[in-house]
Amino acid sequence: MALTTSPPDPKALDAAPARGYSSDAAGLGRLRAGAFVAPALALIAVFLVFPALWVIYLGLMNYRLTGIAAAEPGFVGLDNYLKALSDPGFWNSTVLTFQFVLGSAVIGQAVLGFTLAWLMRNRRGTLKSVVEGIVILAWILPSAVVAFLWVALLDRDSGTLNALLGIPGFAWLLDYPMLSIIVFNTWRGTAFSMMLYGAALGNVPPSHLESARLAGASGLQQLRDVVFPHIRGHILTNLLLISLWTFNDFGPFLLTAGGPENKTEILAVYVYKTALQAGDLGYGAAISTIILLINLVVAIFYLRLLRSRK
């Protein structure tokens, strides 16, 4: 489910209004067309739309997994939201989530992805395929596997990282847990930014770069004056999408399970722990609603951007 946020092709939105209608070449007719669409819509309605609405309702109840409140949940209005405001655990998670998104998506993935795309822009052949292949591999391997690979890498006594750095006994996951999951998620997700920027750089006219070079512009000046103005839209798209995904990412749970001492308890993990481990479904639903609203704001911003760009 974490994967339902596929980046839509900007063309998809534009294609519909631009095209002429009365294109019903197979003679489907509205009735049959409706029947074609219905099964998909039914599944989406039951397993995607309804849960999103239900979570708002649940957030207004004192629902619990077990006990009296499980049998007879009562309406508590905005109590869960007021509870969140004064809950240090919620604020801790909010701050950690912000650090996680800023550190691993906005700084880590975007910068590293752009660097890789820029370094590889004029290359063909083995080096390019090897570099891109390895970066993509980190992205496509199952999350449970990569999480354990990092457990092994960062292991205190016999991990490869400490062996390479010559500092046996250094406990990365205990002493620098937040840094660990930020670097982990940067490693994990850079491929998307690399590919997006790779495609974007292909759209920068070589002649512009050439004339900038002839005019004596340095590499950084070329980047600033020629490349960035051309790919501004791609940068914004990239930042919005990876922020949205990172904000909703459950991956760090597999590496640290929120610990030690809640130091990596980002909101996704916090919801899981309060609602499904501690059983406070109502409160968990209220926090989920907050997550949903933040997602909504980012997504609307993104869709407006797509529309304005056509």
Burial pattern 105-126, b for ≥16 Cβ within 10 A else e, equals: beebbbebbbebbbebeeeeee
Calculate helix-pair angle for 281-308, 10-18, nearest 10 degrees: 60
Q: For residues 190 and 108, is the Cβ–Cβ distance under 8 A?
A: yes
Q: Which of 69, 104, 109, 249 binds another protein (CB under 8 A)?
A: 249
Angle (nearest 5°) at CA 224 between 219 and 226: 85
94 in contact with another protein (CB under 8 A): no
60 in contact with another protein (CB under 8 A): no
Q: Which of 21, 124, 166, 220 binds another protein (CB under 8 A)?
A: 21
281 in contact with another protein (CB under 8 A): yes
- CA dihedral in degrees (139, 237, 113, 293; nearest 10)? -50
114 in contact with another protein (CB under 8 A): no
Q: Which of 74, 215, 296, 304 binds another protein (CB under 8 A)?
A: 296
If the CB atoms of residues 160 and 211 are measured against another protein, the closer one turns out to be 160
A 10 A CB-CB count for 71 gives: 8
Q: Which of 103, 108, 159, 258 binds another protein (CB under 8 A)?
A: 159
167 in contact with another protein (CB under 8 A): no
Nearest to 243 by CA among 140, 107, 103, 106: 106
Nearest to 57 by CA among 302, 306, 281: 281
143 in contact with another protein (CB under 8 A): yes
Tell me how far, at minimum, the Cβ of 289 lies from another protein, in Å: 8
AA letter at 227 = V
144 in contact with another protein (CB under 8 A): yes
Burial pattern 26-43, b for ≥16 Cβ within 10 A else e, equals: eeeeeeeeeeeeeeeeee
Q: Which of 25, 85, 214, 220 binds another protein (CB under 8 A)?
A: 25
Q: Which of 68, 78, 137, 278 binds another protein (CB under 8 A)?
A: 137
Angle (nearest 5°) at CA 250 between 248 and 256: 135
165 in contact with another protein (CB under 8 A): no
119 in contact with another protein (CB under 8 A): yes
185 in contact with another protein (CB under 8 A): no
66 in contact with another protein (CB under 8 A): no
Q: Which of 107, 127, 215, 278 binds another protein (CB under 8 A)?
A: 127
If the CB atoms of residues 154 and 227 are measured against another protein, the closer one turns out to be 154
Nearest to 284 by CA among 96, 87, 97, 98: 87
142 in contact with another protein (CB under 8 A): yes
54 in contact with another protein (CB under 8 A): yes
The contacts of residue 231 (CB under 8 Å, 6+ apart) are 197, 200, 201, 203, 204
Residues in the chain: 310
Stretch that binds another protein, among 19-27, 85-93, 171-179, 206-214 (CB under 8 A): 19-27
179 in contact with another protein (CB under 8 A): no
